[in-house]
Amino acid sequence: MKTISTKNNLQVLHEDNHIIVINKRVGDIVQGDKTGDKPLSEVVKEYIKEKYNKPGEVFLGVVHRLDRPTTGIVVFARTSKALSRLNELFKNRETQKTYWAVVKNKPAEASARLVHYLKRNEKNNTSKAHTKEVPDSKIASLDYQIIRELNNYYALEINLHTGRHHQIRAQLAAIGSPIKGDLKYGAERSNLDGGIHLHARKLLLIHPVTKEPLEIIAPVPNDPIWRAI
């Protein structure tokens, strides 16, 4: 079963005066939504407040999100200066994100660039990948390569060129290789913890204040398939 993050079990990957980077668990929501469930941002605030004995409200800026069933790197800003600069970095694609995914169906090519036009369906919170431009669609591009063949699955490493809604999930489904556990995009069955085998593995960026290069790597969740990779 999934272990939701609390202030006491938070997996902190990097922490300084300006930013904090968390390894998100399955089931964590990054920011509050209509479910009313406690978001990861609030958990991180509690952690900071207790660790540094801070009086009053703790500032924490949400820079980007990960889907609830996805795991891996999430960056938060601890100062308003860091938040504005991180927002620019992410908006201008001045970061490099690497994801790992596990699929059951082997892609036709061992490595390739996928380019689709993604159209979002707000009603059911999905995106559909089209091979040609359609009204209200946005271009989506990624590179993938197979990095490990397991008994019944294939592990892929993915580098994003764009950051679209459910991009990796929709694009892999479009080539007949939906992510393990991702019922929404055509997987045969769900995972026991309700998550999917998609993990934000690595992030390269320039620190928004110190200007030093940062490489952050998130350990994979503790399950047999991830451990085999």
Q: Whole-angstrom Cα distance, residue 150 to residue 95?
A: 30
Q: Count other Cβ atoms within 10 Å, centred on residue 219.
A: 13
Of 43, 79, 47, the C-alpha closest to 63 is 79
Q: Which is catalytic among the residues 16, 67, 182, 193?
A: 67
Of 176, 215, 177, 222, the C-alpha closest to 199 is 222
Answer for the pair 223, 194: CB distance below 8 angstroms, yes or no: no
Q: Which amino acid is at 38?
A: K
φ/ψ of 33, rounded to 5, equals -140, -170
Does the active-site annotation cover 223? no
Of 42, 39, 52, 48, the C-alpha closest to 20 is 48
Catalytic center residues = 67
